[in-house]
Every structure is written in C-alpha cells, then in structure tokens.
Amino acid sequence: MSQILSWIVLLPALTGFLILLLPKSWETKSRQIAVFASLIVAVLAIWVSQEFDIKSLEPYQFHVKFDWVPMLGIHYDLALDGMNLPLVVMTSLLTPLAFIGTWNQTGVTGTMQRRIAALVLIMETGALGTFLAQDLFLFYIFWETILLPCYLLIGIYGGAERGKATLQFFLYTFAGSIMMLVGIAWLVHSQAQITGHPDASIQTLMNLKLPFDATAGLGGLLSTQGLLFAAFGAAFFIKAPLFPFHAWLATTYRQAPTLVSIYLAAILSKMGAYGILKILIPLFPEATHAFGPVLMSLAAFGIVYGALLAIVQSDFKTAVAYSSLSHVSYILLGLFSMKAEGMGGSLLQMVNHGISITGLFLVAGFLDKRRGSLALKDFGGWAIQTPVLATAFMVIVLSTVALPGSGGFVGEFAILIAAFRVNGYITAVAATGMVLGAVYMLNLYQKTMFGPFADDYVDKVNDLDFREIATMVVLGLFIVGIGMAPQTFMAPSRAAVEESAKRVSPEDALPTRQSLPGQVSNF
C-alpha cells in the first residue's frame, strides 16, 4: 500500500502495453480494458484524496522515494503535496469519461481501438507522473512521455491536415522541453557545486539561491536565474500555452481526434500551468517577480486575443480551441500575480477548465459524428431534434462563461481580485475577456442549436445515446458540485499554495493568514 502512488502512475501504462500485446481476437475488447483500468486508477486517486491529511504538517504524503541514477542525483520520487491533488483526481476522472464519451468515434476498426486505447493510457501515465513527481528529472521524463503517444495519435488518426499539425506540435513542444532539459542539467550542476553531490529533487533545488541581477541585460534575463527562467519558461509557456507561444495550438487541437483534443486541452495544458506553479515560481522567484508585469500583460492579451479569434471562427472546433487559449490565459494571469488567492484561484480554474473544455470537445465530437462536418454553416436548429444534446451543451456553456454558481465563477473571480491587487490596468483588459467569452460561447450555441435548419440533414440526427448522456451527466455534476462548494475541492491544496505564495512574495501576506513573527524577507 505504500506504493499506491506508483500504482496510480504506472497502472495505465502497464495496461497500455498489455493492450498492445493482446491477441488479435481480443482487439475489440481494448476499450473495455482501458476503461476498466482507468476506472481503477480513478478509484485509487479518489481514495488517496480522501486519505490525504489536510492538517498534517508533513507536506509530502504517500511519499515513495528511491535512488534511480545516483551518479546524477536522480530519484524516483512521487508524493501528494496538496497542490497536485486536485489535478491528479481530475486527470484520473477525465480519462475514463473521455473514453466513454468518445466511444462511438474510436471504434472503426479493432486495430484503431487497440492503438488509441493503449496510447491514451500511456499519456495518462505521463500526465499523472508529471503531477506527482517530486524530482525534477523524473518530472521531465514523465513530461516527455506524453509527447510521443500524442504525436502518433494525431498523426495516425487526425484530420486531413494532420501531417502539418503533428510536425508543428512535435517541434514546438520538443523545442520547449529540450531547453528545460538543459536547464535541469544546469540547475543540478549548480546544486552539486555547492553541496558536493548532485540532487535533482525539487525540494532541494528550491533552496538554491540563484543569482538574479536586474541590470544583466534584457531586464535581467541574461543573469543566471533569468536564463534558467527562460529555459524552463520555454517548456511551460509553449505547453500551456501563453501568448505568443500558441502558434501550434489551433491546428493541433483542430486536427486531433476528439479524445486527443480533450487530452491536449484538459490535461496537457494543465501540465504547463502546473509546471509554472510547482517549479517556475518557487525556483526562480526573483525572475518571476521581475518579469511579472510582462507575463501578466501577455496573459491578459492572450485572454482577449483568444476570445476575439474564437468569435470570428467559422469552425466549431477551432473556436473551441481559441476559447481554450483564452481560458488558459486566465489561469496564467492568476499564477503570475504570485498572490496566494490568485494561485489558489488558478488551481481551481485548472480543474474547472479541465472539466468544461472536456465537455466542449465532447460536444464537438458529438456534432462531428452526427453531421460529418464542423463548419458552423452546416448547423442550426438542432435543439428541436436533439434536446438532450442541447441541454448538456447548455450546461457546459454556462460553466464556460463562468456563470455564478458554476465553478468557473469562483476561480476567475479569485484570479481577477489577485491580479487587481498587482495591476489594475492589466486586470481591466483581462476582465473584458469575461464579456467576450459570453459572446463567443452563446454565438456557438445559437448557430448550432437555434435558428433555421441548415438543410434537411437534421431529420436524420440522433440524440445522445446512453454512454454519451452518462458522460455529460457526470461532467454536469462536477460543474455544479465545484460551483456550490469550491472549498471542499480546494481545501487540501490551500496550505501548499499559501506556503508557496509566502515563499515568493512574503511582503504581501494575506489578511486571512497569520504572518509568522520574525519572518524575514528573502530578498
């Protein structure tokens, strides 16, 4: 039982390899096996989240740690630290839901079922491992594990322009992560010079005082800490993505099969945001402070830019892709505010966005499967023929536009408050995104569900089947649940987030939090 986190992380990939080795006659059972395995993982994840002791002083729980490559100070090191708990639960729950919700789209041939099931499970291992890793190098390994299955899935089962999409996706993300690898090697080396033996655990590296010199050129980017910030930032900003590192996003999301779009938008983008929260800010606090205004401006610009692009799209899935860019930018805005409530809001928003974007891409999948097209001009008036689909879509829309009562409202509100405490002008720009968000979501809803029929095609449309309804009901329950009682979802992460915020900006302690006497600034 002490290895429970290892089971959570490795079970999906092991099942994935098992599925690859199944005999031909079992091929059509791949999806069932995948759903079963991912449900076990979900149950385990929920169990550890219940067992997680909020009041405990031990920051790392269910800790598994042993040496992996001693020469380079690399450990196999997994732990729940509160910050990653909501994301682990989200990932483990969304995976079976995504499988079930896209059931009818992944099943053309047995080979296709087998490959998709296996590769998605390997991606789940990569995501869960990234969230749980407490060793920087292990973090990188799991981070890269995602890349290849994703590349293959889009390349084999993607849309017509998949060749261009995959190459773009692979080169962008690989360029980012190879810079992170160089950064890791550098960090571990600096650490080894001080203590004499290398150690790649994040906790140890956090105590490194890396020199930051604001006069070093490009506002300090050329000092040691600035360069490392850039190296890690490259990986995280591309994956999230932060404007202007988003060029790969629309093509890739558009060309990917629904299941992979869900994974990209709901889970992979959170890996980027989590990297900022877990690694970038704690390891390079001075650099993040120095570039904070620039980064917040980029995030605010990304909110508006993504929303405007989403409004003018004529393709459903591309519009959803840009809406994702806009919403992820909110998360980044909250993180770069470096305030406890902003970072906490961002963490909550990561979960909210994960759920609502899953819903949106599922709806895109439903529409595509029924109509064979995603061009908005081909839709209209579906609310009459498919009332269940229309209702489910409405719930997702309301959650996405952050209606009070949905989880999105709590998260975005906290982010905007935190951002306002840092810079009112940037926040004013960012807040317009909420209005624009309502515009493009309602626009999408109207053009598909209301209005005249695009042609007589609508006569043949079926409503959601049992599996699809079940998926949407579960998503809806989560949306309402988080909206009604966000604290029950966020309580485990509160201590960890506040601890992190205290480290990076000790001078603005929250009034709700007790400042420790004798605490000194580390600047």
Partner 1 sequence: MSFSNMFPMYFIQGQQWLGLLPLLCMALTAIATLLLAPLRLQGRATAFAMLLIGSIAAVASTVVFPFSETIIILDGVLVFDRLSQVFSAICVLAGLAAALMSLGFDEREALQTEYFSLIAFAVVGMMAMVSTRNLVFFFVSLELMSLAVYVLVSMHRQSSMASEAGLKYFLLGGAASAVMLYGASILYGTTGSLDVEGIRNAFQSQWGGKLPILPLIGLGLFSVGLLFKIGAFPFHVWIPDVYTGAATPVTGFMISAVKAAATGALLRMSIELFALPVAAEPFLITVLSIIIVATLLFGSLVGARQTRLKRIFAYSTIVHTGYVLLGFLALLGGGAGAKDASSAIVSYTVFYVVMNLGAFAVLTLISPKDNDDISLDQLTGLGTRRPLLAFALSVFLLSMAGIPPTAGFFGKYYIFSAALASGYTWITVVAAIASVVSAIIYLRPMIHMYMKESDESYSALPSNWLGSNMIVGLSLFLTVVMGLIPAWFSKLL
Residue 162 binds partner 1 (CB under 8 A): yes
Count residues near partner 1 (CB under 8 A).
36
Least Cβ distance, residue 236 to partner 1 (angstroms)? 16
Q: Which span (3-11, 98-106, 159-167, 413-421) binds partner 1, by CB under 8 A?
A: 159-167
Q: Which span (141-149, 201-209, 279-287, 502-510) binds partner 1, by CB under 8 A?
A: 141-149
In angstroms, the Cα distances linking 165 to 131, 278, 363, 368 are 26, 29, 22, 19
Q: What amino acid occupies position 22?
A: L
Residue 271 binds partner 1 (CB under 8 A): no
Residue 170 binds partner 1 (CB under 8 A): yes
Least Cβ distance, residue 142 to partner 1 (angstroms)? 9
* d(C-alpha 181, C-alpha 315), whole Å: 37
Nearest CB to partner 1, comparing residues 210 and 454 = 210
Residue 136 binds partner 1 (CB under 8 A): no
Helix (H) or strand (E) holding 62: strand 61-69
Q: Which span (95-103, 181-189, 213-221, 294-302) binds partner 1, by CB under 8 A?
A: 181-189
3-class secondary structure per residue, 92-129: HHHHHHHHHHCHHHCCCCHHHHHHHHHHHHHHHHHHHH
- Taking alpha carbons only, the member of 120, 505, 474, 444 closest to residue 289 is 505
Binding characters for partner 1, 214-233, by CB under 8 A (x = yes) = -------------x------
Token pair, residue 126, equals 């990569």
Least Cβ distance, residue 12 to partner 1 (angstroms)? 15
* d(C-alpha 281, C-alpha 398), whole Å: 32
Residue 164 binds partner 1 (CB under 8 A): no
Nearest CB to partner 1, comparing residues 80 and 123 = 123
* d(C-alpha 520, C-alpha 499), whole Å: 14
Torsion region of 405: left, alpha or beta (phi above 0 gives left; psi -120 to 50 gives alpha) = left
DSSP state of 406: B
Close Cβ partners of 244 (under 8 Å, ≥ 6 residues apart): 298
Binding characters for partner 1, 32-71, by CB under 8 A (x = yes) = -----------------------------------xxxxx
Nearest CB to partner 1, comparing residues 189 and 513 = 189
- Where do contacts with partner 1 occur on this chain (CB under 8 A)? 67-72, 111, 140-141, 144-145, 147-148, 151-152, 155-156, 162-163, 166-167, 170-171, 174-175, 178-179, 181-182, 185-186, 188-189, 192-193, 227
